[in-house]
Structure 1
Amino acid sequence: METGLYKNIEKKFNNNVHYLIKKIPLFLKDNYLLLCIFCAFLWFFCAFYPGTVANDSFEMLKEAVHNNIGNWHSPLISRFFQLILSITSIKGIFVLVFMIPFFLGLYIIARNISKGIFTGLLCIIILFIPPVFVFVPVALKDTYIASFAFLISALMIDGAISDKKKTIFFYLFSLFLLVFCFYMRPNGCFIAAPLLVAIFMGWKTPIIYRYISCLVLVLCVIASTPLVNFKLLGARDDAPDFSLMIFDVAGTAKYSGVSTLPDIPSVPDQVNLFQKCYSPLQWDAVANWTGPDCNGVGYYFYHERDSGKERLMAARQELRKAWIAAITQHPVAYLKHRLAHFNRFIDYLGYEPVYRPIYITTVGFTVGYGDPDYSLFYLVKPPRLWNSVINMDLANQLWFHPYVYLLILLFFYLATLTTNDRFNRTLNVVAFSGLTYFLGFLFVGVSSDFRYCYPSLLLSILCILAALGYYSQKRQVFGNRTTRLIATAVTVPLLLIGIIF
């Protein structure tokens, strides 16, 4: 449909540009959007080459190089890094793996808005807003999940807008990327399960059946994760689950005044330790690597990793028993702890600067935690724009507070909840996918890094672009008037409360 103020302005603009550049091939004349996004992609790749592999991702690379793989981070990514290294030694390949799906997904969804220069500029603006910009060149579990989910969701929405039929390739490609998301990090199933259910089972069934299907799939993934990590990927057991259980036991003890842990000789007063050391910001305050005044409990359990499988299994059973007891015997204290942590993560009530709005201030392959491997070290000078952005007061900027993206996703979810056409169902599942990933941190979060919300951040942007694309192609607004009013009535006051308080 060629009506509308936006398209008329863009058509005149494009015609004038065509007149000025007659000698340029017709393909380029008619594909400004592709050209704009491709140029932006080239700039990011070349300016930040070879990308940033630091801290957690550097540890996974080090494990891959030395074939010493544990499950503290992601055995799947470490094995994937090994596969890459067996094929090529080009350092930039690690950042290309997630940059290509992200930029491709951006092109796929934006071309529904228009193929003109205005849409290209819109996409470039999105790439350079600080919350997106500071993570585009950084290889992380979070950016991998974000780019894969973004691409699959863009393909789903593109198909819904244009009424395309799903192909065998789309099914296989989606299955491959979403299964990769399942085992990339422990909570990856929260964002991938709804998308997979919608692709293979549809999103037409009553709401309860959709959610039950998602829950069953999530439980299956959680149950199969040890098998995948230990048997299939050959990883050692670094007991990453201890962090969640210790954090929850500590938080519950903080609010209840009772510790459900057994007696620990080196910690005669556990409650006093938790009262003094616990912080809802992250579990690190009571981790095994903190100072001697706070690491007694963490050291006691993590020390068993080096004492053989039987001792480690016994420690896990002991800690799990205490964890379950904390939840069942002190549910109010447990909920206070989890809500305090989640509130700190999304920076909603009790305004505080967001924790770690950027992942790292250097660019290149930089040493991780613990024993560094300087043979892999490769530091590069970032572009001037990077330094300008990261030196801004990012932590206090509104769009660096995760609750903003939580509310955007909630708005689109509520606005499309009762609609039945293909586009609105697809938009609903994308918003639901981002929401479940976000809300999953309410129960499994152990730290408040801003990077954890990055997948949901990209899906919230995708929802906005999808709404623009739908109106551009169909001249229709997502949802219906009633659901949009309900969504507005719920989310706008919540946004104002977050801003004020």
Structure 2
Amino acid sequence: MAGSRQRASGAIALSAAMLAAAAATLMAYWPGLMTWDAVRQYGQAIDGDYDDWHPPAMEWLWRQLIPIHAGPAPMLVLQVALYWIGLGLLSAWAWRRPRPGLGVALASVGLLPLGMALMGAVLKDCLMTGALLAATGLLAWTREARRAGVRPLLAGLALALLLAAATLRFNAFLACMPLAVALLPARWRDRPWKVAATAIVATALLMVPLPLANRLLHAERSGVELSLVIFDLGGITEESGTNVFPALGVANPIAVNHRCYSAVKWDPYSNWVDPPCPLGFEPFRAWAARTHASPTRLWAGAILAHPLAYALHRLHHFNINTRFLVHDPVERAVQVQSAPNDWHYTVHPGPLLSAIDAAATASAGTPLGWPIAGITLALGVLIAAPRLASRPLIVPIALSSLFYGLGYGVFSVAAELRYHLWTMLAALIAAAIAGADLYAMPVRPWRRIGWAAAPLVLVVVAASAFRLS
């Protein structure tokens, strides 16, 4: 009886701590930090005229919230609520087992400084992370549900959240697929070939929500997909010394591209830089409209003709993107003030905002802010997973982290840390559960633990040595 009361008191204290952490983010960043992306999205939410540069589904949702409260506040509350609801469900799952230590560890994942700071900004990456966390919490509880009808209901809610997440980023299917497969009936994945077939079908289905939402909302085509095409053409041209751009009327395109190209991000080719790159977005889009040529076919042909140059370009970008072998900070880890906007929405400086921002920027210089550490941590967890009691939950979470993180080796045109928020959080969640399982084992498999730790240790040592060199 005393033990039950103690566990109940601990659960109440932990719930209060999570509510306090959520309140801290809301108070520090109220009414919600608006980057240039959010400013553009809010304008379209007000007008109801969408284009597909940013996810129209998010803008449509924002439009539905405006009657409740104008500005970024409703979106801020929504994404912070999803974030902590997901972590709360995971913590409650652990507490019920009963594994209170694991419950505290899972709740503590939410205190990752980058997570606290990024969730204060209204961004598609943060809303997607919140939806994925809530779906993951529901996935944990589907394994506990015993009453008839409860498990399908929880699984259905989780799948709905995954479909919603898939409308927010074109590469979100990589994060959603492992979780979706784990939510499906066990008979669909009781053989390796069934797992493979289910994963393929789930991947195909999860690639549909984004274009479907765009079409249903009559979003205007913005040419956003050209950013990846142009960035890769620039990288191939830079690495191969051969021009792979179409005829854009530019003299000496190799030299021009050398001035425009940066392995960090595609922005020098965008239409918001001054002066614009002659090989950039507007000239390229005009060429495509004039010739009716397929940019995708041009892109694929350039990759096939220069695979080594493409690989070098992608590896250089991925290295910077994941903060692996880099000397200087790529850019500020998180934003601390809103972009100028017509509605004058802004966050106000204060001790709480300063403390969260300082912790986030400081942690960005440590493995807690290196996406490569999250990727290799997820890989290590998968190495350890086969002998763990919670592997049916650990494996999909770790795979979601790993697939999404590695996906930026191909699907990336910039190097902001917000892109990797889910990768880092999911890796920490999977590692916490795996660590608790290993601790509970009467005889620990030390050799497997060593192999599991090796990827993260090697990466951290190499990254640290490079920074000190």
TM-score (norm 1): 0.82
CA gap of 1:270–1:221, structure 2 versus 1, over 3 A, is farther
Shift of 1:481: 5.2
Aligned twin of 2:383: 414
Task: Say whether 1:277 aligns with 2:252.
Answer: no
Shift of 1:409: 1.0
Task: Say whether 1:263 aligns with 2:247.
Answer: yes
Match of 1:341 among 313, 317, 333: 317
Match of 1:37 among 11, 18, 24: 18
Instruction: Identify unmatched segments of 5+ residues in structure 1.
Output: 3-7, 19-26, 305-310
CA gap of 1:190–1:131, structure 2 versus 1, over 3 A, is same
Match of 2:170 among 186, 196, 210: 186
Contact 2:379 2:398 in 1 (8 A): yes
Aligned twin of 2:154: 170
Which digits, 9 at most, give the CA deviation of each residue in 1:29-60, with x for residues without a partner?
76222222223323332343222233212211
Q: Distance in 2 between matches of 1:46 and 1:226?
A: 35
Match of 1:405 among 370, 374, 378: 374
Alignment of 1:61-460 (within 5 A): 61-89=42-70, 91-114=72-95, 126-160=109-143, 162=144, 167-202=151-186, 204-207=189-192, 209-222=194-207, 225-230=210-215, 232-265=216-249, 267-292=250-275, 294-303=277-286, 312=289, 314-315=291-292, 317-358=293-334, 360-362=335-337, 366-367=339-340, 372=341, 374=342, 376-391=343-358, 393=362, 395-416=364-385, 418-419=386-387, 423-460=390-427
Aligned twin of 1:462: 429
TM-score (norm 2): 0.87
Q: Distance in 1 between matches of 2:198 and 2:238?
A: 36
Contact 1:75 1:235 in 2 (8 A): yes
Shift of 1:155: 2.7
Q: Distance in 2 between matches of 1:73 and 1:136?
A: 18
Q: Could you say what secondary structure the match of 1:185 adopts?
A: coil
Aligned twin of 1:53: 34
Q: Could you say what secondary structure the match of 1:357 adopts?
A: coil
CA gap of 1:127–1:191, structure 2 versus 1, over 3 A, is closer
Which digits, 9 at most, give the CA deviation of each residue in 1:268-321, with x for residues without a partner?
2222122222111001122233334634332212347xxxxxx64955x34223
Contact 1:182 1:189 in 2 (8 A): yes
Q: Distance in 2 between matches of 1:140 and 1:340?
A: 26
Task: Say whether 1:487 aligns with 2:452.
Answer: yes
CA gap of 1:205–1:255, structure 2 versus 1, over 3 A, is farther
Aligned twin of 1:308: none
Q: Distance in 2 between matches of 1:494 and 1:357?
A: 20
Q: Distance in 1 between matches of 2:27 and 2:337?
A: 16
CA gap of 1:419–1:467, structure 2 versus 1, over 3 A, is closer
Which digits, 9 at most, give the CA deviation of each residue in 1:165-184, with x for residues without a partner?
76232122112110011111
CA gap of 1:488–1:62, structure 2 versus 1, over 3 A, is same
CA gap of 1:354–1:466, structure 2 versus 1, over 3 A, is farther
CA gap of 1:283–1:477, structure 2 versus 1, over 3 A, is farther
Q: Could you say what secondary structure the match of 2:167 adopts?
A: helix
Contact 1:249 1:260 in 2 (8 A): yes
Amino acid at match of 1:299: E
Q: Distance in 1 between matches of 2:44 and 2:118?
A: 23
Contact 2:177 2:206 in 1 (8 A): no
CA gap of 1:415–1:354, structure 2 versus 1, over 3 A, is farther
Q: How many matched pairs?
A: 459
Q: Could you say what secondary structure the match of 1:396 adopts?
A: coil
Moved more, 143-152 or 429-438: 143-152
CA gap of 1:352–1:465, structure 2 versus 1, over 3 A, is same
Moved more, 324-333 or 212-221: 212-221
Moved more, 328-337 or 166-175: 166-175
Instruction: Identify unmatched segments of 5+ residues in structure 2.
Output: none
CA gap of 1:199–1:424, structure 2 versus 1, over 3 A, is same
Which of the two has higher C-alpha Rg? 1
Contact 2:257 2:279 in 1 (8 A): no
Amino acid at match of 1:61: Y
Shift of 1:75: 0.7
Which digits, 9 at most, give the CA deviation of each residue in 1:372-413, with x for residues without a partner?
5x1x22223143132244355555333212111111111112
Q: Distance in 1 between matches of 2:402 and 2:442?
A: 21
Contact 1:406 1:456 in 2 (8 A): yes
Shift of 1:140: 0.9
Shift of 1:485: 3.3
CA gap of 1:91–1:336, structure 2 versus 1, over 3 A, is closer
Q: Distance in 2 between matches of 1:169 and 1:198?
A: 15
- Greater relative CO (CA pairs within 8 A, separation 6+): 1
Shift of 1:156: 2.1
CA gap of 1:396–1:468, structure 2 versus 1, over 3 A, is closer
Contact 2:105 2:432 in 1 (8 A): no
Kindly report the root-mean-square deviation, in angstroms, between the aligned alpha carbons of the 2 structures. Answer: 3.3
Task: Say whether 1:497 aligns with 2:462.
Answer: yes
